[in-house]
């Protein structure tokens, strides 16, 4: 089993169909895409051994698709990484995963030059002479077992260090089949616009589109600009895009009331979608919405609120369903468990547990965390929710206190540990506050050690150590943090304090 064979199959069935485009410009047919991947894989195989890891720090572009499929074709493990991370965070991920080779786009390559990564054989800028030199004689796709790692997805944890989610060939194939079964059908010639990072959900959704001969479109900007997205939705047909709720909201609010004949589906996820925003999107785009709920440990594949569910306004619990994340994906078991992981009755709140072929093999080089998260054969998501009598899951809270801002996960302890490096900070607790544009923003409650610290210094400290999007938007100085009798900070009380100030 090798997901690279999906591209080989598509090249046979849809040789002349467009496969890759930048904006409105097609840059490769399926025959050309597959040929370049086989040649790039040849160059990689000459340098690396099967199972070696290859880091990808890249802006969205056609080379992203080529690099990912070439890794799989050569029997390697792709490590797509959030390009917005701080170089120190990237350095840790490269080292922890044991990357032997690294790709970066020209805009990101210079900032990585000074990183110390033991074992790295080569660092290659896409589009450079070194990139061109990698294209060698084509090779056949490597033989891979269903349990072989294919994708390492690094997701931050409450320990403050990212964990490498090991996704196997079987995991990726199961996710593809889930998409085709529950999210959307894809016909040859349909398109996906990669406005969200290809290192995350949009990259996953490249796979079913390649499997069925779809066109992968990267915007000229390489990211999300509403005016540009509207142009692409008119230029291409059968268009799907994956978007965080904040992106959907910005599209709704964009001053463009024209028809969008090319739009087929907006798949949203990665954070809460408020019911009012969902209804506004339905009013603007029509019956085009599908919601997915997943996490890195079961990517994009825990539950799905279908197009039909969004459109069924006559259902007596329609608004409740819009506030939910839908029923489990086909072939995926989802349970709301109590303290002993036993299933709870409908309506009762507990931890969301998941089991199935989409669930990760474990955390890379972290057996203790793997055993804890996969205990009893179930993925313990850390999310808290309830299930109704019809099997629709509603998320209530996130027990790990993750903040989701603009679709990106921010873990408070990462920020707290950086702020505590300032000697004027005695204690700190970071929480998320609701925000109309970003979903949530980061707020840091600080107990000063003497005079209050200079917030400009705190900003600078964060920018030196973590990604810009993780930096607090506001610092609140307090005399003490609310705590329970065991000394644990009560983040709920801090959120209530914020709500009282709003």
- CB 16, CB 29: distance < 8 Å: yes
Task: Give the H/E segment covering residue 336.
Answer: strand 333-337
pLDDT of residue 437: 87
pLDDT of residue 485: 45
Query: What are the structural domain ranges in the chain?
Result: 4-386, 403-501
User: How do 439-448 and 403-405 pair as beta strands?
Assistant: unpaired
CATH number of 403-501: 3.30.300.30
Which CATH number is 4-386's, of 3.40.718.10, 3.40.50.12780, 3.30.70.890, 1.10.3720.10? Answer: 3.40.50.12780
Mean pLDDT split into 10-residue runs, the chain, 502 residues: 97 98 98 98 97 97 98 98 90 96 95 88 95 98 98 73 95 97 96 95 96 97 94 96 91 89 94 85 96 95 97 95 96 94 94 97 97 97 93 80 83 85 92 89 95 96 93 95 71 85 56
Q: Alpha helix locations (H) across 236-289?
A: 245-253, 275-285
Confidence (pTM): 0.85
Q: What letter would DSSP give residue 380?
A: E
- CB 54, CB 134: distance < 8 Å: no
Q: What letter would DSSP give residue 183?
A: I
Distance from the first to the final alpha carbon of the chain: 54
- CB 158, CB 413: distance < 8 Å: yes
Task: Give the H/E segment covering residue 396.
Answer: strand 393-398
Q: How many beta carbons lie within 10 A of that of residue 347, not counting itself? A: 11
Indicate the length of the chain as a whole number.
Answer: 502
Distance CA 408, CA 394 (A): 20
Q: What letter would DSSP give residue 119?
A: T
pLDDT of residue 7: 98
Minimal CA–CA distance to 66: which of 37, 45, 104? 37
Q: How far is CA 81 from the centre of its chain?
A: 10
Q: What letter would DSSP give residue 285?
A: H
pLDDT of residue 398: 65
């Amino acid at each position: 089993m090798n997901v690279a064979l999906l591209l080989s199959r598509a090249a046979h069935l849809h040789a002349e169909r467009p496969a890759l485009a930048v904006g409105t410009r097609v840059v490769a047919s399926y025959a050309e895409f597959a040929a370049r991947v086989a040649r790039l894989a040849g160059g990689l195989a000459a340098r690396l051994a099967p199972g070696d890891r290859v880091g990808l720090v890249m802006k969205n572009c056609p080379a992203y698709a080529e690099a990912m499929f070439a890794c799989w074709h050569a029997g390697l493990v792709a490590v797509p990484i959030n390009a917005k991370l701080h170089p120190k965070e990237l350095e840790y991920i490269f080292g922890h995963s044991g990357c032997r080779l690294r790709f970066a786009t020209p805009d990101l390559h210079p900032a990585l030059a000074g990183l110390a990564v033991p074992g790295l054989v080569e660092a290659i800028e896409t589009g450079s002479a070194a990139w061109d030199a990698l294209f060698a004689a084509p090779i056949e796709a490597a033989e891979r077992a269903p349990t072989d790692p294919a994708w390492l997805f690094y997701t931050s944890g409450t320990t403050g260090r990212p964990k490498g989610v090991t996704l196997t060939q079987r995991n990726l194939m199961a996710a593809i089949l889930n998409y085709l079964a529950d999210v959307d059908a894809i016909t040859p010639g349909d398109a996906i616009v990669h406005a969200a990072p290809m290192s995350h959900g949009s990259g996953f959704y490249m796979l079913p589109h390649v499997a069925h001969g779809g066109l992968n479109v990267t915007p000229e900007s390489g990211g999300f600009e509403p005016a540009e997205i509207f142009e692409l939705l008119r230029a291409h047909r059968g268009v799907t895009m994956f978007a965080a709720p904040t992106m959907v909201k910005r599209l709704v609010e964009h001053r463009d009331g024209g028809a969008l004949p090319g739009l087929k589906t907006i798949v949203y996820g990665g954070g809460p979608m408020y019911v009012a925003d969902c209804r506004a999107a339905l009013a603007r785009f029509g019956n085009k919405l599908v919601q997915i709920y997943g996490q890195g440990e079961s990517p994009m594949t825990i539950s799905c609120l279908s197009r039909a569910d969004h459109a069924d306004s006559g259902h007596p619990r329609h608004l409740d369903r819009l506030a939910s994340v839908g029923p489990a994906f086909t072939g995926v078991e989802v349970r709301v468990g109590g303290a002993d992981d036993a299933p709870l009755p409908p309506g009762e709140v507990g931890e969301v547990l998941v089991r199935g072929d989409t669930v990760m093999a474990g955390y890379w080089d972290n057996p203790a965390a793997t055993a804890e998260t996969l205990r009893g054969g179930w993925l313990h998501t850390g999310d808290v929710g309830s299930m109704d009598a019809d099997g629709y899951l509603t998320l209530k809270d996130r027990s790990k206190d993750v903040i989701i801002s603009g679709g990106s996960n921010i873990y408070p302890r990462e920020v707290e540990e950086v702020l505590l490096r300032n000697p004027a900070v005695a204690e700190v607790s970071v929480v998320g506050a609701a925000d109309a544009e970003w979903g949530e923003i980061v707020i840091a409650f600080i107990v000063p050690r003497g005079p209050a610290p200079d917030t400009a210094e705190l900003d600078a400290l964060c920018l030196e150590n973590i990604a810009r999007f993780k930096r607090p938007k506001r610092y609140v100085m307090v005399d003490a943090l609310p705590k329970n009798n065991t000394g644990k900070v009560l983040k709920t009380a801090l959120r209530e304090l914020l709500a009282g100030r709003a």
